[in-house]
Amino acid sequence: MTECTLRLGRFSRRFSPTAWRRVAALVLVIIVVLLLSLALGRVMLGPGALLEALQQPDSPTGLIVQELRLPRALLAALIGAALGVAGWLLQQVMRNPLASPDIIGVTSGASAAAVSYLAWLAAPLGMAGLPVAAMLGAMGAALAVYALAWSHGVTPLRLVLTGIGMAAALGAVTTMVLAISPLTTTLSAYVWLTGSVYGAGWSDVTGLALWCAALLVPLAALMRTVVLAPLDDALATGLGLAVQRHRAGLLALAAALAGVAVAWGGAFVFVGLVAPHLARRLSRFPGTAQMVLALLFGALLVMLADLVARTLFLPLDLPAGIFVAALGAPFFLALLIREVR
């Protein structure tokens, strides 16, 4: 059985048991990766030592696991989950398999705003304002793309082309800010632009989790709109969908999710591109299960990248974004070649 329909009075919902079984399997894989992240590092822990560290937070190994490794792994998962859902949303709205937050300018907007904050406002205002700056930059970039693409409405093709141009322009702004900034600011900004969860704490995990929860609530209410988004505009209008209004709302949600992810972890590129494609391989119907799969694949990608970055080159602790980009770049080229053919 590939699909079932649940009916309770006027409420009906179609779902795929196969897709949800794959969701459960992916959750188990993520749990395994989480346990590996807690056990591996400069201090290697066996199963017994790991269990003891989880039970005794005040012990030396307990401090390593519960104050250093666990919040770092959870923050990586949250960042990847937000980027995965943002990319899935953008690909639905724009009807383009190559759409993602970093390609259409949302990530570039967050990066430009964050680097500008690091250069000129971090000293007087402190680092607490960095997430706010990144989120405002992402939302501003999305608003600018939508406004520039408007011509008696907005089509997915115009959104993609305008977003690519906006990403290039904002990338130039980021480079200019780095060029005129002090050396210390430039070095810290480069690490942040690469994408890293180094030094993550519980306050970071709590802050990002609250933002993600707040943004997923309206997304759940708009799932019917998301499912109809890939349809032709005339057909969607005939089904009673206010196409332009809902397209703007979904674009804003995607930009906000990408913005909060970039705010706490930096510019992790290609996560929003790769995760939705992996999700569609496991679930063809663009419903809740496919969104959850994109969320889980995004979390898994960033967690694995951070685990490799932290353990493969000891004693160095490299930015996880390097390894995400190393995976995403050939994936993007393969997609591009397939679309051309």
Mean pLDDT by 10 residues, the chain (341 residues): 60 71 95 96 91 90 93 96 94 83 88 87 80 87 87 76 90 88 73 83 93 90 80 72 80 89 87 92 85 96 94 87 85 74 66
Sequence-distant (≥ 6) Cβ neighbours of residue 167 within 8 angstroms: 102, 103, 104, 105, 107, 108
Q: What is the pLDDT of residue 10?
A: 59
Q: For residue 14, what are the β-bridge partners?
A: 5
Sequence-distant (≥ 6) Cβ neighbours of residue 182 within 8 angstroms: 119
pTM for the predicted model, two decimal places: 0.90
Q: What is the pLDDT of residue 1?
A: 44
Query: What is the CATH T-level fold of the domain 14-340, as seen in this structure?
Result: ABC transporter involved in vitamin B12 uptake, BtuC (1.10.3470)
* Domain definitions of the chain by residue range: 14-340
Cβ-count burial 114-133 (b if 16+ within 10 Å, e if not)? bbbbbbeebeeeeeeebbeb
Q: What is the pLDDT of residue 27?
A: 97
Q: What is the pLDDT of residue 189?
A: 76
Q: What is the pLDDT of residue 161?
A: 84
